[in-house]
Chains A and B, each alone.
Chain A
Amino acid sequence: AGTYVTNVDEDDKLHEECGVVGIHGDPEASRLSYLALHALQHRGQEGAGIVAANQNGLESITGVGLVSDVFTESKLNNLPGDIAIGHVRYSTSGASMLKNVQPFIASCKLGSLAVAHNGNFVNYKQLKTKLEEMGSIFITSSDTELVLHLIAKSKAKTFLLRVIDACEKLRGAYSMVFVFEDKLIAVRDPFGFRPLVMGRRSNGAVVFASETCALDLIDATYEREVCPGEIVVVDRNHGDSSMFMISHPEQKQCVFEHGYFSQPNSIVFGRSVYETRRMYGEILATVAPVDCDVVIAVPDSGTVAALGYAAKAGVPFQIGLLRSHYAKRTFIEPTQEIRDFAVKVKLSPVRAVLEGKRVVVVDDSIVRGTTSLKIVRMLRDAGAKEVHMRIALPPMIASCYYGVDTPRSQELISSKMSVEAIQKHINCDSLAFLPLDSLKGVYGPVESHRYCYACFTGKYPVTKTESEEADAS
């Protein structure tokens, strides 16, 4: 037999590259971090870690795999303390490396600190080179390690000032949590690319997390967003306090958090993800109507937009494609090729919904177009008379440098083909994307300026000074 192992995740979806959690003031901080990380598992499935602060200093457990694979009861018992930070990670390469799993811990002159980071530093290479010239050595290939070095090298007197000093040198996207002594610190970059929210438990414990769905699971009430450019410090004696780095006139929050990455039940950038996604679908039905018998979704992330499309179009929504929730990242396939195997192992068509019908299938995005092609073929094989594809975001033409694992721009099908050419390539009867102006219209004239559209326009809020080298966090 051959050695055929299909990487079934090497498909047409972008991937968020991290989720972060921080908890201060709860005797079960590590357990709650574990649960909060579980709620953020959709942001990364390849590695997880928790650091807890206790009498012995900072203690860490990290591992490769899902949160439930990495942690056990006994491991969590080894992480006592009422302050903890945690991280889930999606690997940008074929295999995960344990050394790149956060949170990272380092010792410096002031003591020990730990950090967990969601985002990407676009000036990583430049800063790394400079630091190495000054004698720093790097143990990981993660850009996050940079922060630790910058803090250690800083000449500022207090930890907080060192964090500010470090952040002023960083360019790109970062939502980070630090633990140092009895303090928990949350930082968000001035553009606010990646989400970070604050919540509180009934016992007064303060919680930070990438998304509100993590707060919900551990009974923390959502309080507010960490604002772009804000640093929030929580400690035992003074409660929480915040300050701002250099303010920036325009936020640039990642619109894909609403379009794809975050959980529908989360509130991200102050808006309900569910309601936003549904509006994308409704607008799509208005700008790109077509005669059809049924509307279906590419599950799971396309479902809410499809419901919006169907409601607006006045056509029934049905479950036309089922997703297997047991497919792992790699799968063993037969040496005799089963056509479209990688898609078939994860998605199954429901013939009863599709046979003889004119079908609108709603997806959130098209990246390379390879999966869309297979889905259209699968739907036709299951008896669909017509297949009309509707994409609930604008065409992606450019790569992301702020913490989203994207193929290079030239690999993106929309950067090299027109909509008509893509339609022919994936062999659907019609194809339409949500127009960029309509996307902005969802947010309105004021709010729309607070989002980053670089992947749809190629115009980057932070100048791209180098190609991405680090494993973004």
Chain B
Amino acid sequence: SSSSSPSFPLRVSNPLTLLAADNDDYDEKPREECGVVGIYGDSEASRLCYLALHALQHRGQEGAGIVTVSKDKVLQTITGVGLVSEVFSESKLDQLPGDIAIGHVRYSTAGSSMLKNVQPFVAGYRFGSVGVAHNGNLVNYTKLRADLEENGSIFNTSSDTEVVLHLIAISKARPFFMRIVDACEKLQGAYSMVFVTEDKLVAVRDPHGFRPLVMGRRSNGAVVFASETCALDLIEATYEREVYPGEVLVVDKDGVKCQCLMPHPEPKQCIFEHIYFSLPNSIVFGRSVYESRHVFGEILATESPVDCDVVIAVPDSGVVAALGYAAKAGVAFQQGLIRSHYVGRTFIEPSQKIRDFGVKLKLSPVRGVLEGKRVVVVDDSIVRGTTSSKIVRLLREAGAKEVHMRIASPPIIASCYYGVDTPSSNELISNRMSVDEIRDYIGCDSLAFLSFETLKKHLGEDSRSFCYACFTGDYPVKPTEDKVKRGGDFIDDGLVGGIHNIEGGWVR
């Protein structure tokens, strides 16, 4: 007898659904939302800017852009969606001659990136052109935008950064840097920004200093600004100092001039730069990120010891704290979880659900390290808790006898309004559950966080210079409105179709 032909059930799904589904795994970590670069006085400013942006790729992977000033004083822009290495090519960089440049990398807070929201932004106004790249978040954006629109301004993007350009344009102050000061006095929230005009590079940091911004110099005298020192390192710029909270630096043919905005009695630098965002080889807020993380791990081992056979990390950002924990505990550190570095933002999955697929795609357990062992797994933070529960399950399925989770930061109970994409407060697991309840939820044998008091004690005299709003709910600048960057904001951006339509839309 003949057998019937087999049927081939196929999944046909909405790509947006895939994006949304995949986002769940990505939303498990807080997201830095930008890296910025500025270069003055180097004939290859755009190339160096491109390399510096590459070094800051961990701060944003969804969009990148560079603006340069040509010999005839025109601001030229190339921006695109994707990684730095995808957006720029040799021929594109050749279209960006000039010895002044600013650049930006961006992480999108919505499911897909929009080209028009990719910075740097450039605008023409009465006295010339200005470009800006911004890391941070302006908490009074909505009100400022409404006021500006009331007075006749029109907006082309849904980015809060655009209000800065409008404020500069309407300012009556002179010279240029005073317009920037005038604009900044109206802003509330977090901003580390670089501006470029026909002949100047300007760097600004908000009075609280939420987001990092450093200054360096190349051996040819060129001045460089960047979010992190790792960008200076790659382009052989020597780290000189931080841009101070509230400082405005103007670089032109006469050198570097400093001005101060409203001084503030206490800087409020983002502690998460040390916990998670910055690269371990960077110096941020004047301190080594590596040393901070190592100490966080050591403190955890002192505060929350447990009998175990091996210490492992959730790679990559949990590794340094795990090394600190292991060293202090006198237990071997092993690579119990291997991270895949080939995973793109979205991934096609089978319609028959593979359990914990999103985590399995990125993390692989090493059975040889885990089987029969009492395991301490160190991570830098817990946000919603969904990824943590999958990791615990992954470890148990790979043979771990016990799984003890140690988190190298305090519980996150509140959302951030200063440039970090966090879920709203009520989505944060630590906002709703006690430590014991979270432990039960994620299924580990024990759970401990770095204690907030010990974190502050470790920071010593500097402790007052950091923002802890996400651990305490006490905001240095009161959020006066809901979070600006939400998925819904992008619905009416006016761009029809998906990302593939963007390819031909380079802004020039």
Q: Could you give, for residues 85-114 of chain B, a 1 whenever the CB lies within 8 Å of some chain A CB and a 0 otherwise?
A: 100111001100100000000000000000
Q: Is A353 an interface residue (CB 8 A)?
A: yes
Q: Is B257 an interface residue (CB 8 A)?
A: no
B357 CB to closest chain A CB (Å) equals: 9
Q: Mark A76-89, 1 if CB is under 8 A from B, else 0.
A: 11001110000000
Counting CB contacts under 8 A, is B146 at the interface?
A: no
Indicate whether A303 sits within 8 Å of B335 (C-beta atoms), given known contacts A28-B350, A326-B57. yes
Residues B350 and A319 in contact, CB atoms below 8 Å apart: no
The interface residues of chain B lying within 8 Å CB-to-CB of A338 are: 51, 234-236
Nearest CB of chain B from residue A37's CB, rounded to whole Å: 10
Q: Does A238 contact B (CB under 8 A)?
A: no
**Contact B8–A307 (Cβ < 8 Å):** no
Bound-state CA distance A318–B279 (Å) is: 15
- Given the complex of chains A and B, what is the CA–CA distance between A32 and B235 in angstroms? 42
B21 within 8 A of A: no
Tell me, yes or no, whether B417 is within 8 Å of chain A by CB: no
B residues within 8 A CB of A216? 360, 364
- Establish whether residues A1 and B350, one from each chain, have CB atoms under 8 Å apart when the complex forms: no
The proximity string for A residues 1-37 relative to B, scoring 1 for CB distances below 8 Å and 0 otherwise, is 1011100000000000000000000011001101100
Q: Considering only CB atoms, which chain B residue lies closest to A73 in the complex?
A: B348
CB closest residue in chain A, given B292: A352
CB distance from A312 to the nearest CB of B (A): 11
**Chain B residues in 8 Å Cβ range of A31:** 348-351
* A304 interfacial by beta-carbon distance below 8 Å: yes
Query: Would B335 and A348 count as touching, CB distance under 8 A?
Result: no
Q: Which of B185-193, B337-345, B406-414, B472-480 contacts A (4 or more CB under 8 A)?
A: B337-345
From 351 to 408 in chain A, residues with beta carbon under 8 angstroms from any chain B beta carbon are 351-353
Contact flags (1/0) for B7-33 with A, using CB distance below 8 Å?
111111101001000000000000000
A residues 214-269 in Cβ contact with B at 8 Å: 216-219, 263-265
- Would you call B319 and A319 a contact (CB within 8 A)? yes
B205 within 8 A of A: no
State whether B54 touches A219 (Cβ < 8 A).
Answer: no
Across the interface, A334 reaches (CB within 8 A) one of B48, B320, B364, namely B48
The verdict on A136 contacting chain B, using a C-beta distance below 8 Å, is no
Report whether B352 and A28 are in contact in the complex, using a CB–CB cutoff of 8 Å.
Answer: yes
Say yes or no: is A325 at the interface (Cβ < 8 Å to chain B). yes
A350 in the interface (beta carbon within 8 A): yes
CA distance A324 to B84 in the complex (A): 13
Distance of A79 from chain B, by nearest CB (Å)? 10
Tell me whether A77 and B323 are in contact (CB under 8 A).
no
Q: How far is the CA of A39 from the CA of B357 in the complex (A)?
A: 13
* Nearest chain A CB to B88 CB, angstrom units: 7
Q: Is A61 an interface residue (CB 8 A)?
A: no
Contact B366 A77 (CB under 8 A): no
Q: Could you say which residues of chain A place their CB within 8 Å of the CB of B344?
A: 66, 68
Q: Is A322 an interface residue (CB 8 A)?
A: yes
**By the criterion CB–CB under 8 Å, are B54 and A345 in contact?**
yes
Task: Kindly state whether residue A159 has any CB partner on chain B within 8 Å.
Answer: no
Given A332, A335, A351, A353, which contacts B50 in the complex, CB threshold below 8 Å? A332
The CA-CA distance from A44 to B361 in the complex, in Å, is: 17
How many residues of chain A get a CB closer than 8 Å to chain B's CBs? Answer: 69
Does A311 interact with chain B (Cβ within 8 Å)? yes
Please tell me if A100 contacts chain B, counting CB pairs below 8 Å.
no
> By the criterion CB–CB under 8 Å, are B355 and A219 in contact?
yes
Is A430 at the interface (CB under 8 A from chain B)? no
Which of B10, B97, B327, B342 contacts A77, CB < 8 Å?
Answer: B10
Task: Known A82-B6, A274-B366, A332-B50; judge A319-B290 contact (CB<8 A).
Answer: yes
Contact flags A42-70 to B (C-beta < 8 A → 1, else 0): 10010000000011000000000011100
Query: Bound complex: CA of A345 vs CA of B320, how far in Å?
Result: 21
Does B47 touch A at the CB level, under 8 Å? yes
Are the CB atoms of A80 and B8 closer together than 8 Å?
A: yes
**Least Cβ–Cβ distance between B61 and chain A, in angstroms:** 8
Q: Which of B12, B97, B323 contacts A319 (CB 8 A)?
A: B323
Q: Is the CB of A325 within 8 A of B341?
A: yes
Cα distance A265–B55 in the bound complex, in angstroms: 29
| CB of B101 to closest CB in A, whole Å | 12
**Cβ contacts under 8 Å, A311 to chain B:** 332
Q: Evaluate contact between B367 and A326: CB separation under 8 angstroms.
A: no
B447-473: which have CB < 8 Å to A? none
The residue that B343 contacts in the complex, of A68, A218, A304, A319, with Cβ under 8 A, is A68
Q: Which residues of B contact A265 (CB under 8 A)?
A: 338, 364-367
Specify which of B10, B44, B54, B291 is in contact with A335 (CB 8 Å cutoff). B44
B335 and A264 form a contact (CB under 8 A)? yes
Complex Cα spacing A377 to B364, Å: 33
A324 lies within 8 A of B281 (CB): no
* Distance of A332 from chain B, by nearest CB (Å): 5
Proximity string of chain A (198-226) to chain B, C-beta cutoff 8 Å, 1 when within and 0 when not: 00000000000000010011110000000
Within B303-345, the residues touching A (CB, 8 Å) are 319-320, 323, 327, 332-335, 338, 340-344
Chain A residues with Cβ under 8 A from B259's Cβ?
Answer: none
| In the bound complex, CA of A275 to CA of B370 (Å) | 11
Asked whether any CB of chain A lies closer than 8 Å to the CB of B230, the reply is yes
Q: Are B89 and A332 in contact (CB under 8 A)?
A: yes
Is A274 touching B348 in the complex (CB atoms < 8 A)? Answer: no
Whether A322 contacts B279 by the Cβ 8 Å rule is yes
A218-B354, A304-B335, A316-B323 provided; 10 other pairs, C-beta below 8 A?
A4-B90, A27-B6, A39-B364, A45-B342, A73-B18, A77-B10, A318-B323, A332-B93, A333-B47, A348-B279
Chosen A-B contacts, 23 in total, with CB atoms closer than 8 Å, are A5-B90, A31-B349, A39-B340, A66-B344, A73-B18, A77-B11, A217-B360, A217-B361, A264-B335, A264-B366, A265-B364, A265-B365, A265-B366, A274-B366, A275-B368, A317-B323, A324-B57, A327-B54, A334-B48, A335-B44, A345-B234, A348-B279, A351-B281
Residues of A within 8 A of B (CB): 1, 3-5, 27-28, 31-32, 34-35, 38-39, 41-42, 45, 54-55, 66-68, 71-73, 76-77, 80-82, 213, 216-219, 263-265, 272, 274-275, 303-304, 307, 311, 316-319, 322, 324-328, 331-336, 338-339, 344-345, 348-353
